[in-house]
Amino acid sequence: MASEDIQIVKLPIEEPVRHQIRRMALILGLTVLVCAPGFAMIVHDQQSKRAALDSFWRVEGKPCAPLNPERFRRVSARASITPYDGARYERHGGAMTCTHRTDEIGGVPVRYPVCKFDSPDYLAVTAAGQERFYDLTMGRSAAVGVVNGEVRCVVAPRFEM
């Protein structure tokens, strides 16, 4: 046999399966350690945004001051009228935005409309055949919810749209 006929070849040696499993577990563990803080920050941020949105649309606080219907009707400027989900909103000044909330009332989830008003002077809400009039002069904002035909108006913190 001549020395030219001999070849030395390095054969790949496969790792035992348990080493492969350990390596994969290590990679997975490091991935979780690296990604977990970022994921936790995203979850916390989403929870904070949800809580702020929930707080913004709550109808809680000091009741709106009532207004004599005749005073509302004597205003020379035409009121802005907006129908929304079975209620009719009339306002002198300001702007409005609406959404729906679902709250548990009496152990039952109830979905109802909520509208926010930024600084109207006067506001009239008609729901279930009843009219309610509110005085929001002096730059006050309001949140109005209509639950089962019952109107609830509260003075809301100032906000911008």
The answer to whether residue 1 sits within a structural domain is no
Does 43 share its domain with 71? no
Domain range for 142 is 65-156
Does 23 share its domain with 49? yes
Bin 149: left if φ > 0, else alpha if -120 < ψ < 50, else beta.
left
Does 97 share its domain with 136? yes
Tell me the pLDDT tens digit for each residue of 19-76: 788 888 888 888 888 888 888 788 787 888 887 777 888 899 999 999 999 999 999 8
Give helix then strand counts, H and E, for the chain. Answer: 2, 9
Does 149 share its domain with 85? yes
* Mean per-residue pLDDT of the chain: 88
Cβ atoms within 10 A of the Cβ of 120, count?
Answer: 25
**Residue 97 to residue 113: CA distance in whole angstroms:** 11
The answer to whether residue 103 sits within a structural domain is yes
The answer to whether residue 6 sits within a structural domain is no
pTM of full prediction above 0.95: no
At residue 104, does pLDDT exceed 70? yes
Does 44 share its domain with 72? no
